[in-house]
Amino acid sequence: MRVREAVAADLAAVVGLQREDVIREVHEDGMPVAAYRAAFYEITADAHQQLLVGELDGEVVATAQVTWVRRLTYVGGEMGIVESVRVRSDLRGRRLGEALMRHVLDLAKARGAVRVELTTNAHRDGARRFYERLGFVPSHVGMKYYLGGDER
């Protein structure tokens, strides 16, 4: 699998991976495609964010978003925050997610980052085991406050 930064032509595939559904003019929840486009351009224009895609035979089959944040902890060290990791459901178990995450870790090392962190839903035992196999440790308790209601 080849990992690269996403381009505008990848938007439908990235959102499709997020939703495991095809993009229509309006999704079932009423979210217009324009909102995805606006978010995509904001993310990809930000020098502190990377939207990555993994492709097989020219087809986008995986994605992850990384935000690079400098904090005063670790003597002003930079951290990578990984979000929205997805592999197309019919291709899971083929180590594509591992390849994607190893790419993220290589990016972090090349930047001199001191830590890469992520959260995974407490109900996703398989995802937790996946990240632990890669060397991530459950070192903190994540807390979230949802402004739009309960969004597990």
pLDDT at 26 over 50: no
**Residues 6 or more apart from 82 whose CB is under 8 A from it?**
64, 65, 66, 101, 104, 116, 117, 118
* Residue 22: per-residue pLDDT: 44
**Residues 6 or more apart from 11 whose CB is under 8 A from it?**
23, 36, 37, 40
pLDDT at 83 over 90: yes
C-alpha distances out from residue 42 to 51, 97, 109, Å: 11, 25, 25
The structural domains of the chain, ordered by start, are: 2-133 (3.40.630.30)
21 confidence band (pLDDT: 50, 70, 90) = very low
Average pLDDT, the chain: 89
Q: Over range 30-40, report the average pLDDT.
A: 78
Q: Over range 110-126, report the average pLDDT.
A: 93
3 state SS of 96: helix
Spatial distance between the Cα atoms of 4 and 50, rounded to a whole number of angstroms: 10
1 confidence band (pLDDT: 50, 70, 90) = very high
29 confidence band (pLDDT: 50, 70, 90) = low
